[in-house]
Amino acid sequence: MSDNTTKPAEEARDERSLLPAVDVFEDAGGITLYADLPGVPRDSLSLQVEAGNLTIEGEIALAVPAGMEATHAEVDLSRYRRAFSLSKELDTEKVKAEFANGVLKLRIPKAEHAQPKKIEIRID
């Protein structure tokens, strides 16, 4: 799993977005990804797996009173986007997603044939 977010440069120019912070762990059974997407309601989160690419996108929706003027903004865009290329041993049919309090958890298991087998080392 590698980060290829910066590749579609043309696209990025048209629609700038925030890069969410992520943690990615891999164990024998698969990959677990956590992404911080604060301010994104569940129905504004989009996950896509296409041609070996995983794309996470989300739109921030905040309760803003009418006529508010921003005086300080560290989060200065309203959309998150991050993409990863997946390697072929990952089973994209069995991705599990949980989303709560602005944190996305994705579990992408490895395909059956890619599950670990202990390789014996013979010393003659």
Binding site for other proteins (CB under 8 A): 1, 3, 5-6, 9, 12-13, 16-28, 31-32, 34, 36-41, 61-77, 80-82, 101-103, 105
* Closer residue to other proteins in complex, CB, 51/66: 66
Least distance in Å: CB of 73 to other proteins?
Answer: 5
**CA nearest to 99, candidates 30, 26, 20, 27:** 20
- The residue count of the chain comes to 124
* Closer residue to other proteins in complex, CB, 38/94: 38
Least distance in Å: CB of 94 to other proteins?
Answer: 18
Least distance in Å: CB of 46 to other proteins?
Answer: 15
Q: ∠45-47-51 over CA atoms, to 5°?
A: 160
* Closer residue to other proteins in complex, CB, 13/122: 13
Report the Cα–Cα distance between both ends of the chain, in Å, rounded: 37
Q: Which positions ≥6 away from 47 have C-beta within 8 Å?
A: 54, 55, 56, 57, 95, 97, 104, 106
